[in-house]
Structure 1
Amino acid sequence: MPADYLLSVDLGTSHTVAVVVWPDGRTRPLLFDGSPVMPSAVFLDPAGTLHTGRDAERLALTAPERFEPNPKQRISDRTILLGDRELPVTAAFAAILSRVARTAIEAVGHLPNAVLTCPAAWSEQRRAALHDAAAQAGYRPVKIITEPVAAAHYYTSRLSHQVGAGQPLAVFDFGGGTLDIAVLERCPDGSFGVLADGGLPDLGGLDFDAALVAHIGATVKQREPEIWKRLENPNGASELRNRRELWEEVRAAKEMLSRSSVAPVTVPDMAQSLHLTRGELDQISRPLLARAIAETQRVLGLTGRRPEQLAGLFLVGGSSRMPMVSKMLHEGLGIAPTVLEQPELPVSEGAALALTSSAPVTPPAPMPSPPPQLTAPSLGLPPVTGSDQTVQLRRGDDRTPPSPPRRGTEYKARRIPPKWIAIGVTAIVLVAAITLGAWWFLNPYKQRPFAEELREVGSAEALDGEVDDGIYEVRSVGDRSAMFYTTSSSDASGQELHVRAVDNRSGELLWDGEQVLPGAGWNNAYFVSEELIAFSQEVEAGGEYRFVFLDWETGEVRNTVTSAARDAARSGDLLVVGPLGGSGFEVYDAAGEQVSSWSFESDVTVAQWSLVGTPDDIAHPTELANGDGRLWAVTSNNVSHVYDLESGEAVASKEIETVDDVYYAWNGFLYVAVDKETGYDLNVYDVEDLSQVQNIEIEVDGTIAPEAITVCGETLVCVGDLVPEQTDAYQWHVYDADKEKIVHDFDDREYGWIEPLGNRILAEYFAGDDIRTQIYNQNFKTVNNNLEETFDPIDGGSALTWPGRSTFGTAVGNVSGLGRDGSVVDLRIDLEVLACDASETRLACLTPAGSQIYSFRDE
């Protein structure tokens, strides 16, 4: 194997850079996904495969608890918890170094000898972890050089700056997450020694991004408060993507301002772009950079040297390219810094250059074995092969091959031949813009823990009057619950409807409306959101309905609308009423004011209608409902229509199927199940123009017709056909819109209803006369549970069961929490209630003692 190539790797906190030195002295940075800078991030998938770089960042959006963006910061912890598995930090390092090794082999045909870098303050124990990780990744024994020493050699060798013996040089390493500062002294033999070092572990480029986002947010909030509300606190995948796009826009604008005086910022959902100026960036940066200047002065002061005695001030790290950094350092120290166009590269190349000089390095360590207690799971990495030998990457005790790759995201494990053939690199342009902490808190499918027991919040608030056997309902949303119940009346109407609002945090009454409207005809149709409280009453049998809108703050009637339609649906804070006279719709806001209306031809009636669902409803099923702001309808002339609720304008109208078929709209597609002589077709249409995008033939007994379509995942819909001679037992077929095919059949049992639990499936099935519940993961494998209760999802990672509403008075039952991992927590035995509803943290109930709020987890 040739010995005259050299691989130099700077495994940084936020990014990794690697350079190959060729035999003739030329240097070439390795490219990862088309860039010389690779995120130092890892993601452990359920199969035990560690993904790195931008692949890891992309997968983090699916399961952030399995993601670590900065393994280097976890070096003192020794282990990292990724999902449900504890992994040695060295295994994360090894995965990154293995990725570098594969790319180096692609470039030069074998894995060269290597030098790695580390912070100046790292102890021998931490440096030993790097040695261990390199050995796990198949490297021969490596040498280690500290990062400021590597930068100093680049400064003198590549940039040809003169630093005489005894002269100090300051290195200002400003990365994405941290700031490291070192002052070095040139020794007589040409090497460098560190005189003092320091830094700020909580100051980096991400802090500037956050400050700029807040600055942009102030403008967006003033102009478009609803847009900023969604960007600041995103719910669901689409809003999370919008937030990420905003951060990427801000970061790109920050980088553009390094070259120009103004940069546009496109804010998702806003019609016009905003702009950032160099002046705004400078003003925002000053208080942050003031800390950096003070720390630089402190570290320099530790050496007893004055700024004017420095031979130079060298800026490295990606955040150093901001012009304000050089300007304020110049102002604060009185010397002009040196900064390059690509300040991420000098440390890696400088480490290679140091080996040609007399720089002190950490000697190679013997190839160690990992401690038994830190055995890593399967890394899913290929062996690294040289021209005369193969070094198998260690994978702990688990020798099972990695799972098949997911489309477009996984590296497929395979043996690398002795003569490597370049296969190309797929460029991935997605760059994650938020840290692990932000991902964790915004992750729509995380599993939050339940308390050990159900706890009363406040005291029960007695009901006004004796509840009759007509109406008692609860609707809980966020911090408040609305409760509805009827009592007997002494007048001819026979009933009085009472509505009260309760604070979920304290259990106290916000208001009690007493009898809102007298009379019968209340029909259990209650619509509640953060802004809306509405309900309906049949005024004239079969003829006229009254929709009542209340004020959330006072309980007073805001408006009453009379309609010929009895059906209604809620989309956010809008109430859709229809079909009017069988052929039209009206849309009202929370105040009961009409927003839009439309109707079809006089001889056309509506046969089916509903709202276009959105994945946001999966993440927060108790709070968000329902739809993306559009309605679909099928009229008696077999024409399908899509309407925008706020404008009342037609999005699309087209004859596609018949009114007898089964329709469902989800995540931008309209699904129609069409009965045939043998089996049936599932046709998929784009709701934007009702153009057909897919036809799927589902083969079943010709006597079985499709009966239901429902959502069972972000990109999944489930199509159900009834089991013969049953009225509520189905066999379900799962269609994946991304893969454009049926990916699973639930036909091994008689299933009841099926619904998503985050990115898993919660399915009911019949065991004799009993209904049981089973969770299935994304590969449709059963999770470790088989439960007798039925559960309702309350967020993206958990579900709850509570006593069901009874039409014969109170119901008695248990309250239990269910995690997406199948774990069950019994919270209360034999709770007696009239009716309940859950938010993500509270269970609001009407009980014989009155209205009562219960807590099952911390907010």
Structure 2
Amino acid sequence: MVVDSFRLGIDFGTSSTVAALVGPDGRVRPLLFDSSPLLSSAVFVGPDGTPLTGVDAERAGLSYASGLEPNPKRRIDDGTLWLGEREVGVVDLIGVVLRRVAEEAYRVTGRSPAGVVVTHPAAWRQARLGLLAAAAAAAGLGDVRFVPEPVAAAAYFVRVLGHALPADRCLVVYDFGAGTFDVSVVRPAGPGFEVVASAGLPDVGGLDLDAAVVAHARALTGGAADAWSRLDWPQTPADQQARHALWRSAKAAKEQLSRHPAADLHVPLVGADVRVTREEFEKLATPLLDRTSALTLSVLREAGVAPEQVAGVFLVGGSSRIPLAATLLHRTLRIAPTALDYPELVVAEGSLHALNPPPFTAAPAPPGTQAPPHPGAPAAPVRRSSRASRARKLLAAGAAVVVVLAIVATVVVLKSLADPGPITGATKGPTLTGHTDDVTAVALGGPDGSLVASASDDDTIRFWGVETGKKDGPDLTGFSIAPDEIDFDPDGRRLLTLSGSTVQLWDTEKRRNAFDTIDELDTETGLPSPGSIADVAFVDGGKRVQAAFSYGSVLTWNTSDGKRVGTYPTVAGPDKLFSDVALSPDGKRLATVASKDGLRVYDVEKKSLVGGELKTTDGYSSFDHLTFSPDGTRLAVTNSYDVVVFDVGSGKVVDTFEGHTGSINTLAFSPDGTVLASAGNDNRILLWDLVAHRELTTALTGHQKKTGDSTNSITGLAFSADGNHLASSSTDKTVILWRMTRD
């Protein structure tokens, strides 16, 4: 069928790519590839260099596995990779998939599209969009327009399903795909939509649920060790085909369990059939799906969106079809999600209903790719939700009271170990500018305590002088994921960073990795599903680094060589999943929050509870942003707009502070533990006197907030070791230094 003109929408996915056409009559229909709307994103390059994609690529990869890349989207930051005996640019691989879409669209309509829209994750910025645009150009798609995936989903929710989304309400887009999970909060913006906040889990997707089914089959056929060895590491084409058949069968069983109470799985080479019940599958899937629900709740809290502001929860992505996903999400949010029969088609069709963005200007393709530069103009950047709550733990433990110079009358006298006096307030110092995206975390330290370090979503860490406010030396760059937690060690010679689940140590003087032989600390636990790293800190005077995982595991490394020195698996016991955790400065205590168990503190070495559940006098037990005092005797937490301080020993509330008008993102104790700073979405810093149990001074303001824009917020706070300075970071792309005033 030939139409006068049409537009093409493409959702380039990790495992599958979906495309939709809209003609002059406004009717949208999906493109079919081999009789299916889902085109496998796999790309195969054979010995002769001929590329294949879709089921053809998967079939060819059975006999020549080294020529297959099953998930090109995951490799977008790699530049080039080896397939078979040749080096191939990632842009070229993505271009192969997009070219297949372009060819099918031309076959159906007989002409090139009048416009092309390509969707992308909300967190992707200029560099990745440039590569995607270059791939589209290589595929012959011309000038493409980009739409964030959650914006496309919102357009479908409103303009296809007909749901209302008032200007003062938000839509939660729960995108559970094959390779990753993403959650976004979207709101109306003029005639279109904008992303208020977004976060994701790169290690949770449908493929991980398939792996859980395979692991279950392995457990039921454990005696066939030789057969499983061949399935795990196929050395022949026959073994490769058997492995492919096993994983396809696992995926089919998973999908069947969405509709039926049981499914059968054939395990090749083992020669056995395994029955999986829905109850067994849900037990396997619950730990992964609990993480998606917990992240959804966390994003809403960090965005300052109350339940009454949520107009709907929309499930998209093929893996969201699993009934348990909707059940757990409903239980967590108390809002019934909207689920469809074909959630994987939503984003591609929704992109054609979204407000058209301007064409994108691609930077020149990186060396080694065949894609030419692509002209155009960039789409408006989409802010990613910074996990700013982690910046609350940036202080080193046990900072000493410094020796000060005191002036008595007209005689200058040196007073060793003099008390500098209590903090009474703060005055605004310099505003540090230079980052090109949200500043996600801040730390004060350096060899002589004279440095400010800040991490940003522009994938850099910058340094400034505390006294001068001027840039100090080169930046740290090359992060594939923007750091969201940073901390100086006590002597200031090392900087600790957490980027996703990657922990790194940096030499602050040489501005390079601290180790010559490794780039990052080994976070492999050797344990089943440790979860994501939720807190990381220096302990033992900076001699060690400790990391706490969302499943309660605590790992320790030497900072001298990066070697792991011990592990305390599942400190809190089996089958635990925490929405937030915090390590005490000495590494001996772990504070946790879970939906069922509430707020609790564990002894890391003994793996036992310290007291009972921590609650307020009215029984409230849902908290986040956990932060220990420097001496570990107090635990500060937030419950939306309020700060609650517990005595760790007794478990009793010692302070409750009210005053914020937006949700709180970050907390920081002064080194002597007498002052607590809090900040968040109301763009104000409040100082609390923990001795007098009151607000210390009027709110500190200075970070910019655009008129009519409620998305800017303070993301991080950090005191200097001497307690004389406080630094704050913000989504306005700046850091502000505050000088503490004293009696």
Q: Return the TM-score normalized by structure 1.
A: 0.41
Q: Which has the higher strand share?
A: 1
Return the structure number with greater relative CO, CA threshold 8 A, min gap 6: 2
Q: Which has the larger radius of gyration?
A: 1
